[in-house]
Amino acid sequence: MSGRIALRGLSSCTGEVTLPGSKSIANRALLMAALCSNSDSNSGSHSGAAPAVTQVTNLLRSDDTERMLEALTALGVRIELNANDPSQVTVHGCSGDWPYWQANPTATLELFLGNAGTAVRPLTAVLAATLPATAAVVVAGDARMHERPLAALTDTLQAGHASIKFLQQPGYPPLRLGAGLCGGSLQVDGSASSQYISALLMALPLLADDTLLELTGEVVSWPYIELTLAMLRRFGITIAQVSAHEFFIAGGQRYQSPQQYWVEGDASAASYWLAAAAISGGPLTVKGVGADSIQGDIAFADYLAQMGAEVDIQPQQIRVSRQLSEPLQALDADLNAIPDAAMTFATLALFAEGTTNIRNIANWRIKETDRLHAMATELRKVGAQVVEHADGIEITAPAQLQHAEIATYDDHRMAMCFSLLGFSASGVTILDPDCCRKTYPRYFEDFCAVTQTSSKVHRKFTE
């Protein structure tokens, strides 16, 4: 879809915002729920066990979660949608004994997963661990997904004897996956994406044998690994961290349904609202994440406080305000642990005094687009001085921001980050705002509802 939205004259952002559910948590929860067993313990007994049914609530319905729901349905998992509440689904677990291959034991199933990394990575690992010996699956996505590397994960799976054939470029989707994965001693390079590690942590407990998994390289986005471990514990899986970069994973485990799983709000999405409140003065309360969150991206609020915002973090909400007489100060930080939320600091830099330096974010380059290059390109359009490094970016705001049309590269975070320029006198036009459907379909509707303006906000969509 082509289209645009023009924002200017925004003067305040006050009140309350309730976040949509986290995409990262939602897709993990759906897959874990599908893997649940009727067994009442990891001993394997099925006597007297409660049904392996999980009600997932506050589920984000977006492009990425739709791809996971479609894939699980294709695998034969029974999923009940709530007609009155789209954010609630009921998943009937199958213990990894996929009904599709029960009916078609020698078939090859094709799964199209769009540009959903949170579906491609874990499904690839989990299917490698659960495929019947006579079955196969093709894992494919859109054109951008076929440019996003998967080698760190597939190298590990192949080292564990999984059958993998790349159908276009080695180390990238699409790929044809067969059975054969075994435990033992395995290594995974964690320097590109923590999703490869999370995928293996979800898959390896399903193997018959124990596994010692060693993480190599400088591991990025460690909080997402901790998120995965917390969710695995909730679903009855035990993983022992034996050293800083080693996990012992007992084989023969069974996922156990928690019966109900509430998906907490998207902490990455919270960053846009918290930044808007810091720019405009707020006060704004963001509900759905807080001190009790399992997402590392809530650390965004701590960095925001360093820049001069007033931040109050409660168990499930964060409140931000600022005295407008006190300017925001530029940030210089290693944001390797929170790369998604870190993007918001790149546009927030345009409202801060000094030069913002965002360091150790090389994995921006393998996201929905090359985010480092895309961000540098679009920031220069509004007059910012930008230095793009291999693994970082330096940004100095101009004396006066210029109006520009911002390309979004079919990347939801580019669109949402640049909405903050609506608080500048010159305003901004954002192309293809509909790309937010990936994680936050109603973002711009919510943004226009919560922000106030001294003059009419121009908002125009064109087909």
Active-site hit among 64, 189, 266, 340: 340
Q: What whole-number distance in Å separates Cα of residue 59 and Cα of residue 85?
A: 10
Q: Can you count the helices (H) and strands (E) in the chain?
A: 13, 27
State yes or no: is 340 an active-site residue.
yes
Tell me if 45 is assigned to a ligand binding site.
no
Tell me if 367 is assigned to a ligand binding site.
yes
Q: What whole-number distance in Å separates Cα of residue 34 and Cα of residue 223?
A: 24
Distance of CA 441 to the CA centre of its chain: 15
Strand partners, 388: 393
Tell me if 454 is assigned to a ligand binding site.
no
Tell me if 371 is assigned to a ligand binding site.
yes
From 161, 156, 162, select the one nearest 188 (Cα to Cα): 156
Tell me if 322 is assigned to a ligand binding site.
no
Tell me if 413 is assigned to a ligand binding site.
yes
Q: In Å, how far are 123, 127, 218, 286 from 202, measured between CA atoms?
A: 9, 11, 21, 31
Q: Phi, psi at residue 132, to the nearest 5°? A: -65, 155
Tell me if 28 is assigned to a ligand binding site.
yes
Q: Are 439 and 411 in contact (CB under 8 A)?
A: no
Tell me if 221 is assigned to a ligand binding site.
yes
Tell me if 340 is assigned to a ligand binding site.
yes
Burial of 320 (0-12, 13-18, 19+ CB in 10 A): buried
Burial 141-168 (b: 16+ CB within 10 A, else e): beeebbebebbbbbbbbeebebbbeeee
Q: In Å, how far are 21, 24, 82 from 86, measured between CA atoms?
A: 12, 18, 6
Tell me if 209 is assigned to a ligand binding site.
no
Residue that the structure tokens 């390079």 belong to: 189
Q: What whole-number distance in Å separates Cα of residue 245 and Cα of residue 115?
A: 29
Q: How many CB atoms lie within 10 A of CB 43?
A: 8
Listed in order, strand segments (DSSP E) in 204-331 are 211-216, 239-243, 246-249, 260-262, 284-287, 310-314, 317-321, 328-329
Q: Phi, psi at residue 382, to the nearest 5°? A: -95, 5
- Please give the full DSSP string across 303-338, using - where no structure is assigned: HHHHTT-EEEEETTEEEEE--TTS-EE--EEE-TT-
Tell me if 117 is assigned to a ligand binding site.
yes
Binding residues for phosphoenolpyruvate, by number, are 23, 117, 148, 195, 371, 413, 438
Binding residues, by number, are 23-24, 28, 117, 148, 193-195, 221, 340, 363, 367, 371, 413, 438
Q: Which residues are catalytic?
A: 340
Binding residues for 3-phosphoshikimate, by number, are 23-24, 28, 193-195, 221, 340, 363, 367
